[in-house]
Structure 1
């Protein structure tokens, strides 16, 4: 199982950003990451220096969203949709994306559902509830 460290994740996104900027060849996963990086130009400075990125701290008190967590969630959701895992996420996402008129906006809403599922799992000590996650996305797609 793939279990990257915080530094691995930050290095990965910084390298994907650098390759995207320079036009260097990207691996398939880097290409997906680079597409999300392009959607978030506000993260350019965070991704421009891998050394600084590895030591950066993002706290709620600091008032800044963690760009690496945000991009990681985009990447995770993209992979979930591609393989329809948990089962039903692809259809629920497509419905939400159509309703919102934007895959990016839909991903942000799915991100809210994913974050809630993970928080509830951590709080309860139980495994993540994929059905509750899909239900959350479906509710957003039909409201």
Structure 2
């Protein structure tokens, strides 16, 4: 996957990974990481198998979570945790996971990420990693 993939490339990555998994084909390390999150979300499996879903515009008004955005955020957070960047994210995440579980902790981090991404887009500024890690630490009680 490229550094700044298009919406279609992201969706193709997830649907191709799901297809490869179902066919028993070998996955790349990134696909294997994505598959872990896909398996945690059985409610998205029909979307991953549907060419129509890959073309769907998941608007807020439609009231449905965009499975491709949700899985992309899981993947981004998994990458952040693997390299502990921003510094301290792994420790804060582990604290959250002890209180709930790994998946729920990832969703809490995701809410923080969503908030700083929204703020960044609203203000037209770079992502504020300090605010991001601070939001996570507040949730973790760190």
Name the structure 2 match of 1:4. Answer: 5
The Cα shift of 1:19 comes to 1.6
Alpha-carbon distance in structure 2 between the residues aligned to 1:125 and 1:64 = 26
Contact 2:86–2:129 under 8 Å retained in 1: yes
Aligned length: 141
Q: Does 1:23 align with 2:24?
A: yes
- Gap runs ≥5 in structure 1: none
Instruction: Compute the TM-score of the two structures, normalised by the length of structure 2.
Output: 0.94
Find the residue that maps to 1:44 and give its secondary structure. Answer: helix
Within 5 Å, give how 1:15-94 maps onto structure 2: 15-49=16-50, 51-94=51-94
Structure 1 stretches of 4+ with a deviation exceeding 2 A read none
Instruction: Compute the TM-score of the two structures, normalised by the length of structure 1.
Output: 0.93
Find the residue that maps to 1:111 and give its secondary structure. Answer: helix
Find the residue that maps to 2:62 and give its secondary structure. Answer: coil
Find the residue that maps to 2:82 and give its secondary structure. Answer: helix
Contact 2:44–2:67 under 8 Å retained in 1: yes
Within 5 Å, give how 1:92-107 maps onto structure 2: 92-100=92-100, 102-107=101-106
Alpha-carbon distance in structure 1 between the residues aligned to 2:60 and 2:110 = 17
The Cα shift of 1:9 comes to 0.4
Alpha-carbon distance in structure 1 between the residues aligned to 2:18 and 2:11 = 11
Alpha-carbon distance in structure 2 between the residues aligned to 1:54 and 1:105 = 26
Alpha-carbon distance in structure 2 between the residues aligned to 1:46 and 1:93 = 28
Cα root mean square deviation, aligned: 1.3
